[in-house]
Structure formats: C-alpha cells, structure tokens
Structure 1
Amino acid sequence: MNLPLGEGTIDVSLPACEVTVAEPPGGESVAVRSAAENALDDPLGPALSERVDPDDDVAIVVTDITRKAPDDVLLDVLLERLSSRGVAREQVTVVIGLGLHRPMTDAEIETMLGPHAELAVNHDPESVVEVGTVDAGERDVPVEIGEPVAEADTVLSTGVVEPHQYAGFSGGAKTVVIGAGSESIIRYTHGPEMLANDGVRLGRVDGNPFRETLDAAGDLAGVDFSVNPTYGPAGVLGVRAGDGRRVVRELAAVARDALSVSVPSDREFDAVVCGVGAPKDANLYQATRGATYVALGDRDPLRDGGRLVVPAELPEGAGDGTGEQRFHRRLSEATDAETLYREMREGYEPGAQRAFVVARVLREYELHVTNSEAPDVVEACLMRAEDEVEDALEAGSEVLVVPDALNTLLVDGR
C-alpha cells in the first residue's frame, strides 16, 4: 500500500501482519473557485457587500504554511468581490495567521499567495492590541489581536474546516483568534484545564468549551466574514462563506459524512499506522498530530500497551517556531511520559500544549516515527525512531492502517 511521506508516498508491505485499512467514504470534490464564488453568492448570514464599505481598511487573515488551504484562490475571489464593492487593493492587508509558528519566508509567501504576496505580512504576536476579555470562571482572559487586524475596519478570514484535536473542527474565528492572536488566549485555550475537559475532543463542535471560547473571542476581534473549505480524500468537498459559527457547523457536517470510519466496539488493534504527509510532516510538532488524533479521538482502536506508527520526513526536525521549540524542550528534558504529564498538569507555556497531549498518549502507548531525517530528535523526545514502517511492527500484529490520519474520524461502530 502507498502511504504519504512529505510531498510523495512510500510503498509499505506488511505480509507478516493482519492488516485492516481505514478508508473514509471521501465524498465528491468540487472546483474551489466556483464553489467559493457560489458560497459568496449565497452566504450564511449577511452578504460581504453588507459587511464592508468602500472606504474601509480591510484585514484578511489567512492560514500559514502548516495548513493545506487554497488561500491563493480564496484570496483571489475575496479581492475581486472587494474591488467590485469599491475597496481598492491598497486598502487591503493580508495577515498570515502564524499563532506561535515561525514566520514564513518571502519565497514561501509568494508560493502560497502568488500575485497577492505583496499584500501579506507575517503576524507578530508581540505587537498586539487588547480588544476585550473572555470569561474563564474565576478570572477574565484578555483577547489580544495583532495590530493590522485590530485596527482594520473590516476583518475577513480564510482557513480550513478540518478535524482539530481541541476545537473539534478548525476554521471560522480560529484563524483570527489563534492565528493572529497573542500568548494570552493561546495560554488559556491550550492550557491543561481546558485540554483536560471532556468536551474538548476531536470532531466535536457543540458543547466544546474550546470552540465556544474561540467564537466568543472572535466576536470581540470583530471577525466579520469567513470563507472556508473542507477537505476529504477526493479533495475540497465544499466551501461556505459568511458567519463563522454557521460556516464551521455546516462544513463539519459535510466533513463527518466524508471522513468517518466505523470501528466495531469489540475490535482492538496491536498497532495503528498513521499517515500524515506534507505539510504536517515537516516537523515533529505537527507530525505527532497523526498519533494523537487516533488515540484521543472518538474511538481509540488500540489495545492496552499498543503502538502508534507515524511515517514523517521531518526536514525541520522538531520545528523552528516558538511553540515547536517549547514542545521539543519539554519532551527532550523529560525522563518519562508519566512524570512529564503530571508536571504539565500544573501549567505550561503556550506552544508546549502539544508536548502535554503527546505525553498523555505516551503514558499508554509507544509512538514510533519512521522514515525521518531527524531520528535523533525523535529519540530525544521519548519516542522511537525506525528506518521503515515495517521495522516498527512486530510479526503477527493486528494492524490498522489509517492512510490519512488527520482527515479520518474513527467512530464507534456499535
């Protein structure tokens, strides 16, 4: 079978194992541009023309290189609509929603945004404006947004509605609140109190306090209009535009239909092979999502003491951004997963939350990373490095292969 690795694939053969492959239905793909234009013609809520005035300064927050999003096409459609409303190109700033990831290079921005690259600036989490607070029980958490966004008259966002470990599904206000936000809101939303909440779960939107916090913060940030696609194995499955809450819910329903794979409640596996591929396998921080999406999703298919196997290139090692480096430091300085998990339950710096989630998984399962360019980094982070997928599996194992672990929802097949 072929599994993703970087921009290509690897051929994996497991004749000594009993193999089951989790292939979601996939749905039918749509043409991104026409789907985006149709979404703007039939928005969820007031039309874009009712949200923006000709003399407005407009900020459009887009995703960064860690997300697979057709931002060039979505941006092209948005700019055409803004122009037809009388908004000049010079009134538009495109803000790359980095969160705590590393800044994108000029070459990367040009590749991602094409002719619109000159409009783009990297978000600076140190240059933010407080726009209000969200209720966090005994305290209020400041919502701080990057200056180009906070000072704009109209705020638009792109992004992808895809399964997300904490938000249930990404998209909507998340692109702005996290991507163009500061450490304060990231520290709260990604802190141990939030992430230990039962409602914070992959694939869940309703009753998810993480998602609810993002939406409330998005109101404060003035997110006026979102344009999001959702993906499946076949490609882009749909695009919606308008109110962020409604966009996320409609596309989440589309994604669930296309991405869900039922696993019988009485079936367990010795190992799960979690395909990731580019752009998420550029570094260990992102690539570990493949394992945690499986182990901490709606239906954990592993037996006690099982193992997760993630083929990942890792050309950036652990990753170069602030969050990635904090992730690496926490894991590489830890003696064992259980101790690290207990320590991090007391708190940690923003960006380190992925180490907390990985430690939670490592308490129960082994995590093997194969085919990487950074085996020393893997081994230093409480995980095991192997040359090939086959090397990480024992003969006779019952193995579940999830070729696209980030876009597959394993659900209980009662």
Structure 2
Amino acid sequence: MTLVDIPYGGKPISIDIPEKNLAGILHPSEPKKHEDEAQLIKNALENPIGSERISEIVDPETKIAIIVSDITRPVPTSRILPHLLEELGKGNAKDENITIVVALGLHRNQTEEEMKKIVGSDVYERIKCVEHNPDNCVPIGTTSRGTPVEVFEKIMDAEVIIGTGNIEYHYYAGYSGGGKCILPGVSSKNSVITNHKMMLLDEATAGNIDSPVRQDIEEAAGIANLAFILNVVLNSRGEIVCAVAGDYIKAHRKAVECVDRMYKVPVEPADAVIVGTDESKGMNLYQAYKPLDNAKNAVKDGGTIVLAAPSAEGFGHETFERWCREHTCPASVIDTFENNFEFGAHKAAFIAQLAKKHKLLIHSEMPDEDVRDIFFEPVRDIQKVVDDLLEENPDARIYVMPYGQMTLPIRSE
C-alpha cells in the first residue's frame, strides 16, 4: 500500500492505494525553494525583460497605479509589494502618488481584513488602497476581436500602470498573469464577458499560450498602456521559485517556460483520478473548477474524477448557482448555454460537459442536495471511494493529483 496525502483546502487527507493500482502521483517537477526569495524578486526588478527598470521610468511627480490580485488568487502580494515599492523609491516616486488597486474582475468585494492580508498591514497603512469597480470604467478602445476595452477609471488616472500576479495554468486563457491584471482584472463587465465568450473556442485551453482569450487580453493590455509587470511562479507550498519583471508579454513568456518545466506532466489516462485543492481554489465550487478541469486529462472517458474541495463558501457565484439549480440534467445546461452565453454560467456548462463523460464525485462541506445540483455525487470518505472502486475493478488504475490547480496532465501521443 502507498499512503498518499492530498490537500483539502490547506488540510491533508490521507489515502491508502495498493501499489499495483497507483498509476502515479502527479507531482510538479519543482525546483527547491530559493534560499532567499527576496533576492529573486530584487534580481527580477533590477534586470527587467524587454523594459527599463521601473525606477528609471518614474519620477517624483509620476502618478502610479499598482494592480494586485484579490483574495481568490494565491499571489503572495504582501511579500512582493515591499520590493516593488523599494524599487519605485529608487526613482524617487512619492507614496502619495501611488494607488494600489485590487483587481476583482467580476468577483466579490474584499473585506478590510482581506485587503490588509493581501497587501500587508504596513503597506495598507502607508499606501492608498482601493478596489476595482466594474461599474466605474472608461472606454479607451476596442481589440481586433471586437472586445471593448473599458478600464477602471482610477487605473486610467495613472501615468504608469504596473501589474503584479502569479503565473500558473488557466483553463481557457492558457496561463494566468501578465495582461490578465487589466482584462479581466480591472475591466468592465461588458469587456470581461465579451472576452470570455472566446472560451468556447477549441484553442482556449490550459497551457496554450496562443489561446485566443489570452491574445485578446494582451491586445487590451496594450491599449491600456500596461507599462510593467512583476510576476512570480509558486511551488506547491506557495514559495516563490521564479520571478520576472518588465514587458507584460516578454517577461510573461519567460515565466511561462518555468511553469511548463515544472507543471506539465505526461500521462496515460487511468480509470480514476483524485484531485486536491489549495486554500484559494478550495474555498468554493466556482474556484474549484480549475483543478477539476486540469484533472480531466488524466482519466479515461467514462472514468471517475474525485474532487476534494471544502467549498465552505458554497457555489461561490450567484449566476453559477442559479444555473446549477435551474437545470436538472447536463444536456439542459449545455444546450441553454450554447444559445445564451452568461458569465458565471460557463462553469456550470463546463462541469455539465465533464459529467456527460465522467463520473464526478466531490468531498466537500456543501449540502448533498447542492452537490447533486451540479451533477456531482457527494462522498464523505475518499478512502471508501477507492476501496469500492477496487472492489468493482481490482485492476483499476488511479492517479492522485495533490496540487490540481498547478498540475497539467498531458496525454501521451
């Protein structure tokens, strides 16, 4: 037997799987933690890619906007910002000319405590911090794909816009980070929805840098004059193992190379896959879709996907929840969505597509009836699921993905 631990929103669950049935533990090929992650960040800021140092771009009069991610993202913003502010200080930028904007996209607002947690208490007291408001955006252009570029007015008040974030796989934009701080980060609902409609295209998949969604995002970031990014790559423990700064495309691509080396894992599809979630992706079912989507490549058609996601916040999105409750079968969701795109409903449609091909199980804190509304079967004991699966098929092969949001199985050709 092999004892395997998977995260459950930050807490481990232990599972025993016979060695002959364990197809593999799909771990990232992670480098060791850098002894001094602060030095990684400083090196990135001192050696930007495709750009001057940000300290050479600003002066004492420059109005600066720094975009940071909201609480649903695992970005260690509070560990990044002090170094960025120090570099800005080398250009004599004044604190009173800096505004930190929390990018919400179309997510919920943050509490004051969450804001302090995101940026750090010292920075929160020192620098003006505001939240993006998708209803308070100004139109500045249109992409070649027809997406209106409408950006939060406090961003457009700045002369220099800086984006921060982390880079990992994204299920329809290919990768997070880079220009995503602008779109969807600080854009209007109209902009976000128009861009997100491209998620239905075949090329809009995790790990595809040429996803039409990302191409559109980067064009919008150019229209908004995103001047500089500071992005990091994290390992499964949330430690920074790579940092890049500079041009929002060139620096981003350098980090993407790191992500691919670490997180693309070749697989032969198995009978089942058990996938864990970190605290940010495990907080609600809406966020937990991302590791679920990564896991699909590791399992055969008709196989079983077991998702471990506490989902203490429940569905996590009003529209997503409404669509889950209104439709009684996967086909109904898919058919309706194809003729009536609605942001938030896309994850209901994607889960419905998975439910038509796989048996979906979830270990969570959600009520059983809610779980069934989105075509999952609730399970209280993942070990029992494994035991039942092997009783039914003693030769079944099972993968375990402890860090589902970070690992991208790639089917062998």
Q: Tell me if TM exceeds 0.5.
A: yes
Contact 2:295 2:404 in 1 (8 A): yes
- How many positions carry a matched residue from both structures? 397
Tell me the amino acid that sits aligned with residue 380 of structure 2. Answer: D
Aligned residue among 303, 306, 313 for 1:309: 306
Identity of aligned residues (%): 28
Q: In the alignment, is the contact (CA less than 8 A) between 1:24 and 1:258 conserved in 2?
A: yes
**Within-5 A mapping of 1:88-107:** 88-107=94-113
Q: Deviations over 1:49-103 (max 9, x none)?
A: 3332321211100011111111112111111122221211111111111111111
**Cα RMSD, aligned residues only:** 1.7
TM-score (normalised: structure 1): 0.91
2:362 maps to what in 1? 369
2:400 is aligned to 401
Matched residues in 1 for 2:326 and 2:172: separation?
25
Deviations 1:8-34 (A, max 9, x none): 211122349812221222123223321
Q: 2:381 maps to what in 1?
A: 388
Aligned to 1:217: 220
Give the aligned partner of residue 232 of structure 1: 235
Match for residue 262 of structure 2 among 258, 261, 265: 258
Deviates more, 1:238-247 or 1:14-23: 14-23
The one-letter amino acid paired with 1:285 is: Y
Partner of 1:34: 39
Conserved 8 A contact 1:27-1:237: yes
Tell me how far apart the structure 1 counterparts of residues 301 and 10 of structure 2 sit (CA, whole Å): 33
CA distance in 1, matches of 2:153, 2:162: 15
Contact kept, 8 Å, 2:327 with 2:333, in 1: the verdict is: yes
Q: Deviations 1:217-255 (Å, cap 9, x if unpaired)?
A: 001112110000012336322000000111221111111
- Distance in 1 of aligned mates of 2:17 and 2:367: 24
1:195 aligned residue = 199
**What SS is found at the alignment partner of 1:4?**
strand
Question: Structure 1 residues 81 and 261, CA, compared in 2 at 3 Å: closer, same or farther?
Answer: same
TM-score, normalised relative to structure 2: 0.92
Q: Structure 1 pair 377/120, CA: closer, same or farther in 2 (3 Å)?
A: farther
Per the TM alignment, residue 4 of structure 1 is displaced from its structure 2 partner at its CA by 0.2
SS at match of 1:125: coil
Of 70-79 and 366-375, deviating more is 366-375
User: Where does the alignment leave 5 or more consecutive residues of structure 1 unmatched?
Assistant: none
The runs of at least 4 consecutive aligned structure 1 residues that moved more than 6 Å come to none
Query: Residues 58 and 92 of structure 2 are in contact (CA less than 8 Å); yes or no, is this contact kept in structure 1?
Result: no
SS of residue matched to 1:291: helix
Matching of residues 143-182 of structure 1 within 5 Å: 143-182=149-188
SS in 2 for 1:411: strand
**Runs of 5+ in structure 2 lacking a partner?**
none
In 1, the alpha carbon distance for the partners of 2:149 and 2:60 equals: 28
Task: Measure how far apart 1:291 and its partner are.
Answer: 1.2
Q: 1:100·1:351 contact (CA, 8 Å) conserved in 2?
A: no
Query: Paired residue for 1:23?
Result: 27
Q: Which residue of the other structure, out of 345, 349, 353, is the alignment partner of 1:356? A: 349
Contact map agreement 1:200 1:210 (CA 8 A) in 2? yes
The one-letter code matched in structure 2 to 1:328 is: E
Paired residue secondary structure (2:22): strand
